[in-house]
Structure 1
Amino acid sequence: MPTISLRVPETELDIFKAYAKHNNTTLSEIIRVAMLEKIEDEYDLKVFEEYETEKQAGTLKTRPINDLWKELEL
């Protein structure tokens, strides 16, 4: 598995280590999960902004939820 180096102030490293210890996990896992959550949050915000833009422009395409249930055979 590849390795990434990260330079942080000693005080921040102490906080990261304490957080990892408190959550009974590794520092690597804490950083990996935090980065993935950050990426997911930014993606969600982008999708929401696109939704709002389409909604305001009147170009948003919607359909009844019952149509989706039928399509998914639920």
Structure 2
Amino acid sequence: MKHKITVELAAEEMKAIRNYAEIHHIDSSQLMKEATLERIEDEEDLASYKEAMNAYRNDPHTYSPEEVDEILGL
């Protein structure tokens, strides 16, 4: 099932979006979709990074590749 979202833009914003989409040979709807999904992915990546850094700060022990191989029995 497809859904539609309506976004209100100022004339200059719409012009910028249309120009960018035209340069990249995609329509403005596809551009908005891709940009929004990329933004969501970036924020999820940042949240994962922050979580990993907090875990590292709490336990800064790291393993060398050789230690990982030994632990995994490789």
- TM-score, normalised to structure 2, is 0.79
1:3, CA displacement in angstroms? 1.2
| Paired letter, 2:52 | Y
Query: What corresponds to 2:45 in structure 1?
Result: 44
Q: What is the RMSD computed on CA atoms of the aligned residues?
A: 2.1
1:59, CA displacement in angstroms? 7.3
C-alpha distance in 1 between matches for 2:12 and 2:6: 17
Post-superposition, which runs of at least 4 consecutive aligned residues in structure 1 deviate over 4 A? Answer: 59-63
Other structure's SS at 1:43 match? helix
Q: 1:48 to 1:60 in 2, by over 3 A?
A: farther
1:40, CA displacement in angstroms? 0.3
Identity %: 22
- TM-score, normalised to structure 1, is 0.79
Gaps spanning 5+ residues in structure 1: where? none
Q: How many pairs are equivalent?
A: 67
